[in-house]
Every structure is written in structure tokens, then in C-alpha cells.
Amino acid sequence: MSGSALYETFARAPLAFDHGEGTWLVTDKGERYLDFAGGIAVNSLGHSHPHLVAALTEQAAKLWHVSNLYEIPEQRRLGERLVDATFADKVFFTNSGAEALECAIKTARRYQFVKGHPERFRIITFEGAFHGRTLATIAAGGQYKYLEGFGPKVEGFDQVAFDDIDAAEKAITPETAAILIEPVQGEGGIRPVPTQSLKRLRQLCDQHGLLLIFDEVQCGIGRTGKLFAHEWAGVTPDLMAIAKGIGGGFPMGACLATDEAATGMTAGVHGTTFGGNPLAMAVGNAVLDVVLADGFLEDVQRKALLLKQGLAGVADEFPDVIEGIRGTGLMLGLKCVMPNTKVNMALRDQHLLAVPAGDNVIRLLPPLTVTDAEIGEALERIRAGAKGLTDAIAAEAAK
């Protein structure tokens, strides 16, 4: 027996946090860490945001849960607000990103079914994608490391190379139902999909009667400086999965759909026990109060520029450690020269938390509420971490 009662599925850092304040996390020993990991883009408004704490505690004193067999006014309100702010006409609330993706996948298949095309069930996805850890979403993500050993891959996902729109077009068959893409790949290494490519995907979907599904679980809710990343491209999907930032730390997600795309989702065909419960909805509404407030997203854009420019300077200074900066908004990646795990460790030694991603990248996903001073502090810590690594290379070479 191993030392822990928990599944050994996570490679955990030897750190335990006791509480959080804004962009800071404090360990059980009182050590302060600057949190640029943000629970992997979950803590959109940092830790213990007073408006979220108030919304959650007020709701907790009133009503935690009723099932979706009854009206849930806060759910209706959050649904209407998401509809007002986006391309969508309909919303289904879930507990997680993967469950939001499951809903999007089922909605797309069901749409084709009710339109007289039960044979159209396949979905085209892109290499480097990450859509979750359920059986269908690991098939959609297509990464062998997540599929191995879990039996036959769920049927119906066809993968093409990242940003290869010609390949996506060639992959369309009479059985294709939809195309699924993250407008900015997160786990794949902070890779934004060019505007032109999103536009072409929209055209392909329209031309072939397919639905376009965006996964904005990581890049949505203000992360890129717009409420949703696809707004930068001026392209709207038929379906969109969101999660992470909308709950600010409370587990929740949603699938957004146009009326047309949701045609097949009639009474009884889909469901959830916890999705959209009053506690989650109170927090989701509170997150939107802040993110949709006048000037908030413009300030995210301004701060993002500050961080990106600062990072570019650090990359120039330490080319043996950081090859370049990528990403958009407060979803930035350091493309590393040495293994990203090593760089991540050096940052952690500086009490700065970040997240490794694919393609040897370190993700920086600070709360949208990060201050200019905290950005300055983070840059100092990244510089110190990179300097330590550069000095170590020099010392090794001198041996």
C-alpha cells in the first residue's frame, strides 16, 4: 500500500495552502506564493473575492440544492445573462468542463439526428486539443497518453493537425456532424488559432451542414480580454462549452447553443443532478457581475499587454531558458528551451506558481483581478528564476 488514501493520479507538489487572498496563496506554514496558475484558469477573480464570498455565503444560508425538477430562478437569470452576452439562445448548466463538452457533443449528434441525418455523428478535432477526461472527451482530445488502457476509444472522433484547415476539410465525410476546437489551445501549449482559420471553419460548417463547437473552458470568461476568445475573430459557433472561470472556484460549467443547434435537446433526452444548482448559480452570477462591469475587460487587456511586454523582455534577457512568449490576454505561455518542468520548479522556488503545458510551455494564468504591482512582482520572480537557471548552465559549462 502506498502512503496515501488517494488515487495516485496526480503528481502533487509538496505544498499545502491554507488560504488565499486575491492573487496570493498562503501555505499552512505562512509562506506566501504569487498565484499565476489560478487553479488552471479557474480562479478568475482570485482567491476570496469579497463579492463571490458574499454571494456564496448568502446563498448557503438560504438554499443549497433543489433538483432540476423545479424552477431555479438564479439559473434562469444566469442563463439569460449568458444568452444576452453571447451568440447563444439556450444554456445547459453542468458541473465541469468535460460535462459541458459531453453536452455539446450530444447536442451536435442529436441535432443531426432530428434533422434526418442519424448517420452524421462524427466530430473533427485537432491535435494538441484537451477536452476533458471522460471517455468521450479523451477520444475527442485524441491524446494517446490519456487513452491508453481505457479500452476501445469512443467511436466518432477524427483528428487532424493543429490549425490545418485543409486537412479538416478533407476529413469531412457524409458521417460528419461537427467540428470541435479550442480557439486558444490551453493544455496543448497556449496556442491561439488564427482568426482566418476560425473563419474558414465557420464557412466549412455552413457549407456542409455541420455544427461548429468551441471549447472555451479555459480561454473563456474574460481570460483573453474579451468575454469569450472567439469574439476577437468575429466568428460565432453553434455550440460552446464553458466552465472553469465562470465558477471562480465553485465547480460549474455550461453548454451554450443557438436555438437551431439545440433543436434536438427536448424534454428527457439529457440531464444532470447537480448542474445549475442554486449555490453554483449564485456564484456564477456574481462572477458575471464583476467581469461584465464597465471597463473590467478593457483593464484585463491593458494588464495583459503589460505582462506580455515584460515577459518578452525577460525572454530576450535569458534566451537559454525562454525561447519566446505566446498567447493572448492573461493566458500567456513561456516556450521553454530546457524542460518546462525544470523551469516550473525554478519559478516555484521563487514562490511563483505557474502550470506546465504541452509543447514545452509554461502557462501563466493569473486572476483577471491581478494588479499592476503583482505583474511587476511576477516579472521579477520569473527573471530571478531564469537567472538562476542561466547561472547553473554557465557553472556547468565552466566545469
Ligand X SMILES: Cc1ncc(COP(=O)(O)O)c(C=O)c1O
Q: Is 217 in the site for ligand X (CB under 6 A)?
A: yes
Q: Is 97 in the site for ligand X (CB under 6 A)?
A: yes
Instruction: Tell me which of 218, 258, 277, 369 binds ligand X, using CB under 6 A.
Output: 218
Strand pairing partners for 192? 184
How many CA atoms, within 13 angstroms, populate the side-chain half-sphere of residue 326? 24
Q: Is 132 in the site for ligand X (CB under 6 A)?
A: yes
Q: Tell me how far apart the alpha carbons of residues 377 and 19 are, in angstroms, rounded to a whole number.
A: 20
H helix or E strand, kind and range, residue 333: strand 331-336
Q: CB under 6 A: which stretch of 5-13, 30-38, 46-54, 127-135 binds ligand X? A: 127-135
**In whole angstroms, what separates CA 80 from the centre of its chain?**
22
Q: Which of residues 366-385 bind ligand X (CB under 6 A)?
A: none
Residue 266 dihedral angles phi and psi, to the nearest 5°: -95, 175
Instruction: Supply the minimum distance, in Å, between the C-beta of residue 200 and ligand X.
Output: 21
Grid coordinates belonging to 11: 503528481
Q: Which of residues 257-296 bind ligand X (CB under 6 A)?
A: none
Q: Has 218 been labeled as part of a binding site?
A: yes
218 versus 344: smaller Cβ distance to ligand X: 218
DSSP assignment of 283-325 equals HHHHHHHHHTSTTHHHHHHHHHHHHHHHHHHHHHH-TTTEEEE
Instruction: Supply the minimum distance, in Å, between the C-beta of residue 53 and ligand X.
Output: 22
Radius of gyration of the chain (CA): 21
Q: Is 183 in the site for ligand X (CB under 6 A)?
A: no
Q: Has 28 been labeled as part of a binding site?
A: no
Q: Has 10 been labeled as part of a binding site?
A: no
Exposure string over 62-71, b if 16+ CB within 10 A, otherwise e: eeeeeebeee
Instruction: Supply the minimum distance, in Å, between the C-beta of residue 389 and ligand X.
Output: 27
Q: Has 75 been labeled as part of a binding site?
A: no
Q: Is 330 in the site for ligand X (CB under 6 A)?
A: no
Q: Is 102 in the site for ligand X (CB under 6 A)?
A: no
Q: Nearest to residue 126, comparing CAs of 103, 100, 157, 99? A: 157
Binding-site positions for N(2)-acetyl-L-ornithine: 133, 272
Site residues (CB under 6 A) for ligand X? 40, 96-98, 101, 130-132, 182, 186-187, 215, 217-218, 243
Binding-site positions for pyridoxal 5'-phosphate: 97-98, 130, 215-218, 273
